[in-house]
Amino acid sequence: MIPNPKYKNIFFWTIELLALSLLILIVSRFDFLMKPISVFISTVFVPLIVAGFLYYVLKPVLTLLKKITVKGHKMPHQLAVIITFVLFLAVIAGSLILLIPTLVAEITNLITALPEFAQNVQRFVTDLLQSKWLSNLNLSIDVDEVKGAVGKYSASFLTITAGTLGSAVSMITSVTINVVTIPVVLFYMLSDGDRLLPAIQKLFPVRFADNVKELTLKMDKTIEKYISGQAIEMLFVGVTMAVGYLIIGEPYAWLLGVIAGITNIVPYIGPWIGVIPALIVASTQSWKQMLLVMIVMMVVQQLDGNFIYPNVIGKSLQIHPLTIMILLMVAGNLWGIFGMILIVPMYAVARTVVKFAIEMRQLTKESLE
């Protein structure tokens, strides 16, 4: 028997959570039940995440259009949605017309040059192992073993297109489905996004309506600030890295710039991941080219860190860099690259909820005193 009602509630919810965990564990053992669920989630997950990302990127534009007044009347919501969506499609179409031919040409040239590229990488590693400054370090390196590993990876790199043809066809099919699905989901998000808050409020008792509204608005602002800021950062880093690569004469500059921009979505670690392909390409030319690639990356990151990041994201998340690094390491080990992309905004939202709950509890205590 538990005399204290407070401990009684804790005991009740502990039993409920344990029972739910046990049920999930048992159900997860049945593949015939979990496989359809996992396929459904994996199919729906990507379009929802991408459409959600684009929704928060376009939301400031939608909000700005709704503030426009014509003869004392504000622009109707649906008209603002249509204009926002048309502008989005126009930007995408323009980007495809300008960028896709260049990317296709660079990818084609890269595939054509793969044999020579692999040989250059092997030659670079051989010269590195035989260099005087490396021998002065007195490192115990098995040269033949390293050469064998490089040769093995180079051979597998050359046969990747033939060995993964089926996977490529499957990926193209999946991408095509997402390209068709994502705009439809995005349009409905833009159109019905303002109905989400009232729908959430209806799930809670009336006395909590104002608190739920305040909390959801804070969560929405947190996500919007982070995602719109990340989109601007990705665009800035991608374009400036590509321009920097063009200036130093780096091959496949636009392709490498796109890779750098996309990987920049992962805080702190992303820029170093994005520069690796450029360094590999530069290694087939000279040490000087590798040094120039690093200089370009450092300059772009300094510009981003001192001007772009503080202004577009700033300290709105108020997350310590060490906390972000720990979150990235844990998420990377558990869920891979997608976990590293999602963990920071998820943590920011969870922290917003916890802080709000603490504030509400403190206000409740003060009102009762």
Q: How far is CA 62 from CA 68, 75, 80, 187, 189, in A?
A: 10, 10, 6, 12, 12
Query: Which tens digit of pLDDT belongs to each residue from 246-301?
Result: 999 998 899 899 999 988 888 778 888 889 889 888 888 888 888 999 999 999 98
Q: Output the pLDDT for position 202.
A: 75
170 part of a folded domain: no
343 within some domain: yes
The span from the CA of 80 to the CA of 88, in Å, is 12
User: Is the distance from CB of 312 to CB of 264 less than 8 angstroms?
Assistant: no
In a domain, 350, yes or no: yes
Question: What span, in angstroms and rounded, lies between the C-alpha atoms of 237 and 216?
Answer: 31
Whether residue 310 lies inside any domain: the answer is yes
- Residue pLDDT, tens place only, 141-150: 555 555 555 5
In a domain, 127, yes or no: no
Of residues 104 and 263, the one with the higher pLDDT is: 263
Is residue 26 domain-resident?
no
Between 8 and 99, whose confidence is greater? Answer: 99
Instruction: Judge whether 160 lies within some domain.
Output: no
Instruction: Note the pLDDT of residue 165.
Output: 46
DSSP 205: -
The three-state secondary structure class of 131 is: coil
Bigger pLDDT: 5 vs 179: 179
Domain that holds residue 231: 203-363
Tens digits of per-residue pLDDT, 188-234?
A: 888 887 777 777 777 777 777 777 778 788 888 888 888 888 888 88
Comparing 100-109, 136-145, 160-169, 346-355, the range with the smallest average pLDDT is 160-169
In this model, does residue 84 exceed pLDDT 50?
A: yes
Given a cut of 80, whether residue 26 has pLDDT beyond it is: no
Structure tokens at 259: 């890779």
Per-residue confidence at 106, pLDDT binned at 50, 70, 90? confident
> How many domains, the chain?
1
**pTM higher than 0.75 for the full model?**
no
Q: Does residue 158 lie in a domain region?
A: no
Q: Could you tell me how many residues make up the chain?
A: 369
> Are the C-beta atoms of 282 and 289 separated by less than 8 Å?
yes
How far apart are the C-alpha atoms of 362 and 125, rounded to whole Å? Answer: 62
